[in-house]
Amino acid sequence: MEIGPVLHADDVVAGKMSALFTRAEPRDFLDVDAAIVSGRYTRQRLCELAAESDAGFDRRILADLFGMLERYPDRRFAFYGADTKHLAAIRARFADWRRELLDDSSATQ
């Protein structure tokens, strides 16, 4: 069986980061969180991949977008099978990542 070109996992997660950066929908947070929780990608590596694939990627803007996660009601995630406990953990992880990005941004200014 011949298989044609396929996407590398790095390309997929770079696309997920781009989606998170451009639209920040609930599914985007879930997808990026899954990449991190899998242990295959670190926050740093995801940002590197996003920057490599999108010249307009900005960590400070990403941190601001992470603030949107708190504004989404739980019901927006229910469609994707995320329960309250799972969402609390996701929100905590992104809040921590947001603080990390903002701290890094402050240190470089």
The tens digit of pLDDT for each residue in 72-95 reads 999 999 999 999 999 999 999 999
Name the domain count of the chain: 1
Identify whether 23 is part of a domain: yes
Give the mean model confidence (pLDDT) for residues 9-16.
Answer: 96
Identify whether 4 is part of a domain: no
Average pLDDT, the chain: 93
For 32, counting Cβ atoms within 10 Å of its Cβ (0-12 exposed, 13-18 middle, 19+ buried), the class is buried
Identify whether 26 is part of a domain: yes
pLDDT of residue 2: 73
Q: Which domain holds residue 100?
A: 9-108
Instruction: State the maximum Cα–Cα separation within the chain, in Å, rounded to a whole number.
Output: 54
What gap in Å lies between CA 61 and CA 105, rounded to an integer? Answer: 10
Cβ-based neighbours of 72, under 8 Å, separated by 6 or more: 26
What gap in Å lies between CA 102 and CA 63, rounded to an integer? Answer: 7
Residue pLDDT, tens place only, 14-38:
999 999 999 999 999 999 999 999 9
